[in-house]
């Protein structure tokens, strides 16, 4: 009987220890989330479709502090598609109030924004690099859009409809492009200007070292 009681006591201690460990892990995780949320700026009061946002504490637990893209806007709330950590693949959907959005991380994808295509490496798409256009409403899918590749049918990928400034040179009027391949037009112009300035400085330096 003593052996049975000792075994039961040992089992009870093991259970309590496991529960204590799980509870401690849950408390630690909750504390980390609370600490991160305390560092967030005040909630935003205005968003537009295409905005890349960071979700705050008022959304479902699994989506807290996750990136998302706004797809629809109502008077006091909006619809967002939750994205993976790379902000490329849709992993869920929710309907936060504006107060539940911690911050707007990027407004470049709003309708009407002037952008430049950069960094595409696909055999059929790299020709679009350097072409400028405007973020536009897709006639069938709206804004933003999601595309499933044949190789990953269950992973909708965030894309943006870009209407090219020079469709004849680009070879098409519009294209669906991932945000990672888009750059604000003003930034692209500034980068090009800086690069041109560097080239001119190097040329001037070379010319100054040439014998007369």
pLDDT digit string, tens, across residues 83-142:
999 999 999 999 999 999 999 999 999 999 999 999 999 988 999 999 999 999 999 999
Mean pLDDT of the region 22-33:
55
* More confident of the two residues 204 and 78: 78
Please state the pTM of the whole predicted model. Answer: 0.72
Q: Would you put residue 17 in left (φ > 0), alpha (ψ -120 to 50) or beta?
A: alpha
d(CA 50, CA 55): 15
R_g of the chain computed on alpha carbons: 26
Confidence of residue 196 (pLDDT cuts 50, 70, 90): low
Angle at 77 between CA 103 and CA 102, to 5 degrees: 15
Class of residue 175 by CB neighbours under 10 A (exposed 0-12, middle 13-18, buried 19+): buried
CB 181 within 8 Å of CB 158: no
Residues 6+ apart with CB under 8 A from 28: none
pLDDT band at 4 (very low <50, low <70, confident <90, very high): very low
149 phi, psi to nearest 5 deg = -75, 150
Token pair of 7 as six digits? 């075994």
Within 10 angstroms of residue 71's Cβ, the number of other Cβ atoms is 19
């Amino acid at each position: 009987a003593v052996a049975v009681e000792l075994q039961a006591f040992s089992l009870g201690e093991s259970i309590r220890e496991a529960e204590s460990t799980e509870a401690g892990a849950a408390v630690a995780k909750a504390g980390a989330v609370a600490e991160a949320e305390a560092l967030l700026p005040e909630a935003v009061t205005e968003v537009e479709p295409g905005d890349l946002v960071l979700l705050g504490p008022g959304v479902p637990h699994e989506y807290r502090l996750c990136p998302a893209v706004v797809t629809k806007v109502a008077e006091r709330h909006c619809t967002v598609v939750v994205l993976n950590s790379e902000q490329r693949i849709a992993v869920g959907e929710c309907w936060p109030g504006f107060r539940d959005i911690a911050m707007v991380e990027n407004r470049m994808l709003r309708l009407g924004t002037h952008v430049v295509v950069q960094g595409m490496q696909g055999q059929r798409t790299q020709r679009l690099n350097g072409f400028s256009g405007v973020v536009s409403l897709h006639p069938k899918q709206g804004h933003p859009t999601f595309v499933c590749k044949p190789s990953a049918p269950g992973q909708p990928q965030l894309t943006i409809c870009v209407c090219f400034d020079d469709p004849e040179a680009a070879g098409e009027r519009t294209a669906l492009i991932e945000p990672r391949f888009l750059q604000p037009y003003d930034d692209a112009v500034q980068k090009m200007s800086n690069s041109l300035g560097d080239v001119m400085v190097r040329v001037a330096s070379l010319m100054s070292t040439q014998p007369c």
